[in-house]
Structure 1
Amino acid sequence: MIDRHDPHTGLHSEQGALRGEHPGRAPDPIIKVHDLAWLEFQKPDLERAEIFAHAFGFTTVLRTHDQLQLRGTDPGSPCVLIHRGPRSRFVGPAFRAADSQDVMRLADATRRPVTRLPVVLGGTTVDLIDPSGCQVRVVSDTDELPALPGQHPLTLNLGHDAPRINTTQRPPRQPVSIQRLGHVVLQTTKYLETLNWYLGHLGLIVSDFLYYADQRARGPVMSFIRCDRGATPTDHHTLALTLGPSNRYVHSAYQVADLDSLAAGGEYLRDHGYHRSWGIGRHIQGSQIFDYWRDPDDFLVEHFTDGDLFDNTLEPGWAPMTASGLAQWGPPATKDFLGVKPGRESARELRELLTALRADNEFDLDRLRGLMKVATS
């Protein structure tokens, strides 16, 4: 007998908000950023970081004793800047403004100075701090790196449409070529305040809200947020924010050409001893095919392909947050991905949880109960 139960029923609503719920955008933002420019990290061992970066699919732009710049094949800025430091930590994201006038406008509104970026990057920046304490740069007029040769999607025989005749498919087991930076996910103890800050300062808009089961009336606890470029489609999320017991980096994601390059690149990483956190599968919010890996400094990084693109006409979707609702297909979300695997990260998160419950923030005992339900769903 066929089981007709759909495990995804009710996990995603495209009906939008109920009356009085968060609209997912600010009525009059200061500016509207166009994209993520890069992410900045600090690490003590740049040699080890570069070895993994090449296996993961990056190309080195700049390598000095104190700095490593990594890029994809698309034209533009480097994707990742790594500075040598005493410990591994995420420094913050840089967003690209539409032009220098927007940088000036944001600087005036926040009473922050506009400064020149290092000559190796070019351009200017206004450096802000979000409500969670994360450094946020908004940059313009940075130097444009030319495109590099990259991987092309394979020609596929799909159903009765068969353009590939007398030719085999043999994708090599080699590092995938990163095309570009896609998004970053951050956890915050001040979710609503931080969300409103990004919407109001940078003009980002929400694609999807998630809420804890039986707690929708208290409001969302996660949002997938995209850039507002009007009729120009943008990634389903450039930034995602989630409520939690600490303010921290969760993961970042980098686009690749197709499923075959993602899978073959994953085989290469596995052959070279790196740890797959979760994958391969297809997400619900954003729809992208994903594959998550841990770098040697324990940062979570994602290969993705075939993600959703939205213009500014779509209103936010609303859905309950569940572990099973993270993917349409693929293996169950791992304890490592969910952050509950015994180890340094989960121990640190437990210490932060106890601190958060005693502090004045949005993460209280009811929210903890909701989060525990997610981890066991």
Structure 2
Amino acid sequence: MGDPHSGLHSERGALAGERPGRAANPVIKVHDLAWLEFEKPNLTRAEVFARAFGFTTVLSTRHELHLRGTDAGAPCVLIRKGPRSKFLGPAFLAATPGDVLRLAEATGRPVAALPDALGGVVVDLADPSGLRVRVVSDTHELPALPPQDPHVLNLGHEVRRVNATQRPPRAPALVQRLGHVVLQTTRYGEALDWYLRHLGLIVSDFLYYPGQRERGPVMSFIRCDRGATPADHHTLAMVLGPADRYVHSAYQVADLDALAAGGEYLRERGYQHSWGIGRHIEGSQLFDYWRDPDGFLVEHFSDGDLFDNTLEPGWAPLTASGLAQWGPPATADFLGVKPGRESLRELRAVFSALRGDNEFDAQRLLGLLKVARS
């Protein structure tokens, strides 16, 4: 029996006439993700999980919670108290203060001051799915915190550690920074073009449903264009689906030991493990996925790919077995097909999407079902 992963790596490029992975003349080029914003009914419960996951609290009031990593910069997660759990949208960091003004002028949107706790200015946009997308600049920069150092490893015959043991602490894996967010949209092609054109993002990898390449991709891993300076393989990933929703967000930690020991710390406290540990194909990250108490999927990752702006997109089929080079099979929970409220909501969304005006049609549904079975 052949290797099931053979041919799944996406170093192969586009065929003639396929979708390009960047806009010819974008309005601006954002530098990075700044933070993600959520609404949750129980901030105390959210903060307890956040600390176990490895965040540090910056601000905690009855109405708002700001969480940060150890890297210098703005908080990477903002949570406001609300009647139900909800993802409000991402905020991207502009490369220069003038880019916020340029984007506001191009879109006819006003520039506003952010709250004093964050500082700086913001322009609020809406992507084709209706999600609020913020672009910010001049925010307060929090100083770096003491990091969780990576372990010194003896690699093969390369000896770096002598007369010393390895004892990774059973402690939270300290989050260094926000890495990426993954969004599902019923208007994938339209939304992708919007992000490339308005924010100057560029595609690292396209995925398509097996047997449907001629219809174009259904998922893309998208990075910031920093010119010759390498950027994360993806800062944003987008996938076609029957509902417009948050899929997961990912946070960098020091190394595999931090990720694994931090996972054991979460497991001991009764939190729900979703999938991992493994190594992805697109992006190459070591990964481990968890559910927070509100059901949001969050990822610890380490050792991800970094690309400059010279690489063109790779193309590969989208399959469940192709989500990882090694590790346990993708779980029903991670794939969204585990029986429960979430899968029931997605099933209802399928029927609504098939009746609606969007890109998710019957042929795409068949492709999605093949992915879940692969």
Fold shared, TM-score > 0.5 on shorter chain = yes
1:299 aligns with 2:296: yes
> Which consecutive unaligned segments of at least 5 residues does structure 1 have?
none
CA drift of 1:15 comes to 2.5
Q: Which of 161, 164, 168 is the aligned partner of 2:165?
A: 168
Residue identity opposite 1:186 in structure 2: L
Aligned residue in 2 for 1:145: 142
Q: Which of 196, 199, 207 is the aligned partner of 1:199?
A: 196
> How does 1:118-133 map onto structure 2 within 5 Å?
118-133=115-130
Residue identity opposite 1:22 in structure 2: R
Task: Please say if residues 10 and 282 of structure 2, whose CA atoms lie closer than 8 Å, have aligned partners that are also in contact.
Answer: no
Residue identity opposite 1:227 in structure 2: C
SS in 2 for 1:40: strand
Paired with 1:12 and 1:59, the residues of 2 have a C-alpha distance of 36
SS in 2 for 1:13: coil
Aligned residue in 2 for 1:278: 275
Residue identity opposite 1:181 in structure 2: L
- TM-score, scaled relative to structure 1: 0.99
Paired with 1:252 and 1:170, the residues of 2 have a C-alpha distance of 29
- Cα deviation per residue 1:184-208 (whole Å; 9 max; x = unaligned)? 0000000000000000000000000
Count of matched residue positions in the alignment of Structure 1 and Structure 2: 374
Q: Runs of 4+ in structure 1 displaced over 6 angstroms?
A: none
Paired with 2:182 and 2:263, the residues of 1 have a C-alpha distance of 21
CA RMSD of aligned residues (A): 0.6
CA drift of 1:9 comes to 1.0
> How does 1:254-273 map onto structure 2 within 5 Å?
254-273=251-270
SS in 1 for 2:5: coil
Aligned residue in 2 for 1:288: 285
CA drift of 1:351 comes to 0.7
SS in 1 for 2:312: coil
CA drift of 1:139 comes to 0.2
> How does 1:1-377 map onto structure 2 within 5 Å?
5-377=2-374
Paired with 1:266 and 1:14, the residues of 2 have a C-alpha distance of 31
SS in 2 for 1:106: helix
SS in 2 for 1:20: coil
SS in 1 for 2:346: helix
CA drift of 1:150 comes to 1.3
Residue identity opposite 2:202 in structure 1: I
Paired with 1:68 and 1:14, the residues of 2 have a C-alpha distance of 41
CA drift of 1:71 comes to 0.1
| 1:115/1:294 CA distance change after superposition, 3 Å | same
> Which consecutive unaligned segments of at least 5 residues does structure 2 have?
none
Paired with 1:73 and 1:298, the residues of 2 have a C-alpha distance of 25
Q: Which moved more, 1:80-89 or 1:14-23?
A: 14-23
Paired with 1:264 and 1:163, the residues of 2 have a C-alpha distance of 22
CA drift of 1:332 comes to 0.1
SS in 1 for 2:100: helix
Paired with 1:111 and 1:210, the residues of 2 have a C-alpha distance of 34
- Cα deviation per residue 1:83-115 (whole Å; 9 max; x = unaligned)? 000000000000000111100000000000000
Paired with 2:157 and 2:10, the residues of 1 have a C-alpha distance of 33
SS in 2 for 1:325: helix
Task: Please say if residues 12 and 316 of structure 2, whose CA atoms lie closer than 8 Å, have aligned partners that are also in contact.
Answer: no
- TM-score, scaled relative to structure 2: 0.99
Residue identity opposite 2:69 in structure 1: G
Paired with 1:337 and 1:13, the residues of 2 have a C-alpha distance of 22
CA drift of 1:163 comes to 1.1
CA drift of 1:246 comes to 0.2
